[in-house]
Amino acid sequence: MNPVSKALWYIESHFKEEVTLDDLAQISQVSRFYLSRAFATLVGQPMQRYLRGRRLTEAAKRLVDGTDNILTIALDHGYGSHEAFTRAFRDQFGITPEAVRAQGHCRGLTLVPPLRLESIMNTPLAAPTIQERGALLIAGSSERYNCAMRAAIPLQWQRFSAHLGHIPSQIGQDAYGVCYNTDDDGNMDYLCGVEVKDFSTVPPEFARLRIGPQRYAVFQHRDHVASVTQTFNGIFSTWLPESGYEIVDAPLFERYPPSFDGRTGMGGFEIWVPIAPRQAERTHD
C-alpha cells in the first residue's frame, strides 16, 4: 500500500487527536523526509495543512448540526480553548464559528473532504536507471516556493533563459532545475541553472549550489513539460514504494538537454531522484 495512502487513512481515523509527521512516518514505514516530500507532491499541500483542513471541516459540520456547544466541538477537534479554535477557524474559512452556527449551513466555505489517491496513482511509468553521480556545481537563479506557488516556476525559467550559455565557467549545454531546502510545510528552493567548473568567476547576482556525490534513480519524461506532475505522481505513488529505495534529504533535479525546446515545452528531459536503500533493506545487508 502506498505510504501516503496509509498516512491519509491514519489522519482520517485519528484527526481529532494530536497527529505528527513522525507518527505518520512510523505507521507508513518510511522516513519523515520521504513522507513529507511524497505527501506534498501527491496531495498538493503539506500534511499539517491538510490535517487542519480536515479537522475544521468536520467541526464546521457539527456547528451546523447545532447539537453541541462550540467549546465542546473545539475540544473534540484538538483545540485547547474557544479562542484557539475561533482563530484557526477564521484563518481557514474567513468566518467565525459563531457565524456558521447562526447561518445554519456550510455554503460558501471551502471544505476539505477526505482524499483518496486512487485517481492519481495509475500513471504509467517506465523503469528508471540507477546511477551514481559525482559532485555538481550549479549556478543560476533561485527562488523559494510553497505548494500553492509552484505554478510560477515556468516564469522563473523565462526570466533566466536569457543567461543560458552566458554564465562564466559553464560546462556543457544542459540546464538544471534543482529542488532543495525542502521543509515539512512543503516549502522549497528552486534553482534554474547550469553546471559550472567552479564558482570563482560566477557573477554575484547568481545563486550557487554544490550538490554532493549521490545515488539517483533517473526517470525519462518524454511528454510536454506541463505534464511533469504525472511523472512525479508515478514516482512517489508507485515506483518508490515498490522499489526498495527511499528518497533522501538531498537535492532533486531535472536535467534539460539541448534537445529540450523551452519555447514549445517539448523535447524531453530527465528527473534525478536522490535515493538510498530503504531502512529495512539496509538492516539486512
For residue 209, tell me if it sits in a domain.
yes
For the chain, list the strands marked E by DSSP: 129-133, 136-145, 175-180, 188-195, 207-211, 214-221, 245-247, 252-256, 269-277
Specify whether 95 is located in the same domain as 167.
no
Answer for the pair 168, 201: CB distance below 8 angstroms, yes or no. Answer: yes
Answer for the pair 193, 139: CB distance below 8 angstroms, yes or no. Answer: yes
pLDDT at 120: 56
pLDDT in tens, the chain (285 residues): 688 988 998 898 888 888 899 999 998 888 999 999 999 988 889 999 999 999 999 999 999 988 889 999 999 998 999 999 999 999 999 999 999 999 999 999 999 988 876 655 556 788 999 999 999 999 999 999 988 788 889 989 989 999 999 999 999 999 999 999 999 888 999 999 999 999 999 999 999 999 999 999 999 999 989 888 889 989 998 899 999 999 999 999 999 999 999 888 999 999 999 999 987 544 444
Specify whether 193 is located in the same domain as 237.
yes
Instruction: Write the CATH number for 233.
Output: 3.20.80.10
Give the Cα separation of 83 and 43 in Å (integer).
Answer: 29
Specify whether 140 is located in the same domain as 92.
no
Specify whether 258 is located in the same domain as 195.
yes
Specify whether 30 is located in the same domain as 74.
yes
Domain enclosing residue 27, as ranges: 3-103
pLDDT at 282: 47
Specify whether 51 is located in the same domain as 189.
no
Specify whether 151 is located in the same domain as 71.
no
Give the Cα separation of 282 and 285 in Å (integer).
Answer: 5
Cell of 44: 498538493
pLDDT at 284: 45
| Tally of domains in the chain | 2
Specify whether 167 is located in the same domain as 276.
yes
For residue 123, tell me if it sits in a domain.
no
For residue 110, tell me if it sits in a domain.
no
Domain boundary pick from 85, 103, 121: 103
Specify whether 134 is located in the same domain as 92.
no
Convert the pLDDT of each residue in 38-87 to its tens digit: 999 888 899 999 999 999 999 999 999 888 899 999 999 989 999 999 99
Specify whether 147 is located in the same domain as 208.
yes
For residue 29, tell me if it sits in a domain.
yes
Give the Cα separation of 32 and 28 in Å (integer).
Answer: 10
Specify whether 147 is located in the same domain as 94.
no
Answer for the pair 160, 120: CB distance below 8 angstroms, yes or no. Answer: no
Give the Cα separation of 36 and 186 in Å (integer).
Answer: 7
Instruction: Write the CATH number for 13.
Output: 1.10.10.60
Q: Which of 165, 261, 252, 268 is nearest to 217 (CA)?
A: 252
Specify whether 274 is located in the same domain as 147.
yes
